[in-house]
Amino acid sequence: MANDKIQPRLILVLTLITIASAIVLTFIDDLTAPLIAEQAEKRVQEAVLSVVPEAVDFEEVESENFELFQGLDESEEVVGIAVQHQTQGYTGPIDVMVGLDVDTRQVTAVEVLSHTETPGLGARIVEEQFRGQFEGRKSIEEEIEIIAGATISSEAVEEIVDDVIKGAQDFEDEMPGLETIIADEDDLGARDFSEQEVVDAEQGIQSLAKIVTDYSGGE
């Protein structure tokens, strides 16, 4: 057969194969897409619910700097905030979900969603023994115990939790559910503040001031 006569057949066969492939894949995609979406949804849900123990449901909140979720209880009340945040670890990004209590701003739990740290060393950040250290904290000033041989991975998680705690001030503007709670507290009226409360307030103002300077590009 001469070369020029073959040309249409080449195009035809390859086109047919591609079309057949596309049809098969459309069919398979149709079958699996809902399942894959469900798996992704389930993952987020599990993560949010595991860091906000009292929550039974959650909803995502628009936020500029963080992936922010509200944990809701049965009566749709906000019982906690879950913040997904990531930073660079030793070998790749570490993705962490941090749960915060609404009232006290204490860390309720820390869950590592994904990472690529070295197995046996940095990968131990997922262990309860390490993650548990963050529970009940309001700051990272008191040092956490670092995993031996995995300083960088440990400090990366520490940095995430620190960022989230410091950024917690911002969330108030972004979460409609919280405004009411805070407004309620203001209505309590004048009263004597305990020493701890004064210190807390001062720290809050300082970190707020830091955020403002950070965002305005200052040193």
Residues that bind another protein in the complex, under the rule CB under 8 A: 6, 9-10, 13-14, 17-18, 21, 24-25, 28-29, 31-32, 35-36, 39, 43, 90, 114, 118-121, 148-149, 152
The distance of closest approach from Cβ of residue 40 to another protein in the complex, given in angstroms and rounded to an integer, is 8
The distance of closest approach from Cβ of residue 18 to another protein in the complex, given in angstroms and rounded to an integer, is 6
The distance of closest approach from Cβ of residue 125 to another protein in the complex, given in angstroms and rounded to an integer, is 15
Residue closer to another protein by CB (options 144, 152) is 152
Residue 167 makes CB contacts below 8 A (sequence gap 6+) with 65, 66, 83, 211
Residue closer to another protein by CB (options 35, 183) is 35
Residue closer to another protein by CB (options 108, 115) is 115
The distance of closest approach from Cβ of residue 150 to another protein in the complex, given in angstroms and rounded to an integer, is 8
How many residues belong to the chain?
219
**Which strands make up the sheet holding 93-101, listed edge to edge?**
57-61, 67-72, 78-88, 93-101, 107-114
Residue closer to another protein by CB (options 28, 199) is 28
Residue closer to another protein by CB (options 140, 152) is 152
| Lookup result for tokens 């040092």 | 143
End-to-end CA gap in the chain: 76
Residue 74: alpha-carbon gap to chain centroid:
23
CB 146 within 8 A of CB 155: yes
Mark 25-51 as b/e (b = at least 16 C-beta within 10 Å).
eeeeeeeeeeeeeeeeeeebeebbbbb
The distance of closest approach from Cβ of residue 156 to another protein in the complex, given in angstroms and rounded to an integer, is 12
